[in-house]
Each structure stands twice: as C-alpha cells, then as structure tokens.
Structure 1
Amino acid sequence: MSTMLFVNLPVTDVARSRAFYARLGFRFDAMFCDQGTLCMEVNESTKVMLLCRRRFAGYAAGPVAEPDKAREVLLAVSAESRADVDRQVDAAILAGGTELRPTEDLGFMYTRTFCDPDGHGWEVLFMDPASIPQTAVD
C-alpha cells in the first residue's frame, strides 16, 4: 500500500491558483514549485500538484478535461467541525470560488462544496461517527 497520495490537477493560471489556495490557508512545498507547477500540502502524506495545462497534458498522455464543462473529480477533504466546514468554504467563496451545490446536513455528516477558479470541485465535510444512526441487524 502506498504511503503518500499525489493528486494532479490542470490549471490555467498557476499564480492565480497559488493566490486562491493561499487564501484558504494551504501551504506550498517550495521544492516542487516553479512557474508551471505548485505542490500544495493537504497534510503530511497528501499533496495536490497544480500543473499548468500544457505540463499536465504531458503527464496525462491524452486530452485534458474541461472542468467547467464536466466534473472530472470531486475532491473531498475532512474538517474538524461544522464550523470549520463553514469557515473553509466561506473562505473559498470569498477568494473567488463558487458554490457547487447546496449545503447537505444529514445529522451525522455535514458537507458543503465549492469549485476553484478552474472549476475543480471540492467537498469539505465533517462527520460525527457517534451520531451515525444505528440500524437493527436481523
């Protein structure tokens, strides 16, 4: 089993992406950043590589999806509380993101979603396992 996850996403403007994600509180690993690439740290073992579209196309070895026309992926990240979900998504919208779908509150799970300036979908969720409804087993 792998010990790290690298998610690669194409972006149209690396500087714009850096400014957007920096406003959300993300840090970047300077060792893997240049004019065409950002390495955004989600946590110690998860990184998101934001690559200029041309560079991404070279790695993808095929056509690059247009995220504003069709959803290629929905990236879901956990939050520590409902308030943290709201804080993160509100910050994304204030930084230029857009709401993807309405807030969903299932009691045990609370989610909000947004799209970044390139149209990539993100879901921020808080789940309280102690609140998951228990079902009877026959």
Structure 2
Amino acid sequence: MSSTMIFVNLPVKDLEASKGFWTKLGYAFNAQFTDENGASLVISDTIYAMLLTESRFKDFTHKAIADTSTTTEVLIALSADSRAAVDELVDAALGAGGSEPRPAQDHGFMYGRAFEDLDGHTWEVFWMDPAAVQG
C-alpha cells in the first residue's frame, strides 16, 4: 500500500505575508510548486498546504470563499511530539501575528492548543500520550 498524501488548499489574502508567517514558524516551501498565485507549504513528507491567492482559489470552486472572521470553514489538526512542542508552535504562531481563538485544553493524556493564521484559518496542535493510545 502506498503512503497517502494530503494537500490542503487554503485561500489567502496576501500570499507574501502568509509565506512570511509560515517561515517564521520554521516551515519551508516547495519552490517547484510556488509562484505569484500560490505557495506549496511543506508541513511533512506527506502533508502540504497550498496557500492560494483568493483569485486563484476561486478557479477551483463556484462557492464563495468563507469569511473566516465569522465562519469556520475547516479545523486543521496537527500532531506534535510533546506538550512542549505544542506550546512552541502555537507561541511561534502568536509571535508571527497569529491569534489564539481559545484557551489550551489539557486532559492529562492529551494536550492541545489552537492558533489562527493571518487569514483566520484554525490550526489545532495537539499531543497525546502514546501510552493512552495503546491502552
């Protein structure tokens, strides 16, 4: 069985600002799939976010682009290797201009925080104790 990849397409108002935001969080872009209309954000070997200018995003849908100030179009969840890694990524997002839509959620065996990027897309970052998953 081959490894499935995911490409999340997200509309952005200012592509250069969005690229700067994600660069400050320590992520890189695949230059082969990046131009003035979009940027391929490399999250992992199998996860990518295509940050598309709103005009380019509209080429793929007949629906209106969600107004993220009043509507949640998707919650994107990313796992982290530790509680500290959750805090590190969310704190970096806040330092790069993102916002935190809610307080941290601590369930002991699972810890999570969220941030909204410059375009209001919600990214959930969580850690789960491996022993809790096995048990």
Query: TM-score range, shorter-chain basis?
Result: over 0.9
Identity %: 47
Residues 8-87 of structure 1 aligned to structure 2 (within 5 Å) = 8-87=9-88
**One-letter amino acid of the counterpart of residue 91, structure 2:** D
The secondary structure found in structure 1 opposite 2:48 is: strand
The secondary structure found in structure 2 opposite 1:98 is: coil
Contact (CA 8 Å) 1:104, 1:112: kept in 2 or not? Answer: yes
Give structure 2 stretches of 5+ with no counterpart: none
The CA RMSD over aligned residues, in Å, is: 1.6
Q: CA deviation at 1:100?
A: 1.2
Give structure 1 stretches of 5+ with no counterpart: none
- What per-residue deviation string (whole Å, max 9, x for no partner) do you get for residues 59-107 of structure 1? 1232111112100001100111000000000000000000011100001
The secondary structure found in structure 1 opposite 2:35 is: coil
Contact (CA 8 Å) 1:24, 1:92: kept in 2 or not? Answer: yes
Distance in 1 between residues matched to 2:3 and 2:59, nearest whole Å: 24
Partner of residue 128, structure 1: 129
Partner of residue 8, structure 2: 7
The secondary structure found in structure 1 opposite 2:43 is: strand
Distance in 2 between residues matched to 1:57 and 1:4, nearest whole Å: 23
**Rg larger in structure:** 1
**One-letter amino acid of the counterpart of residue 35, structure 1:** E
**Structure-2-length-normalised TM-score:** 0.94
Query: Which deviates the most, 35-44 or 56-65?
Result: 56-65
**One-letter amino acid of the counterpart of residue 59, structure 1:** F
Residues 103-122 of structure 1 aligned to structure 2 (within 5 Å) = 103-122=104-123
Q: Which runs of 4+ in 1 moved over 3 A?
A: none
Query: Which deviates the most, 57-66 or 102-111?
Result: 57-66
The secondary structure found in structure 2 opposite 1:130 is: helix
**Structure-1-length-normalised TM-score:** 0.92
Contact (CA 8 Å) 1:107, 1:131: kept in 2 or not? Answer: no
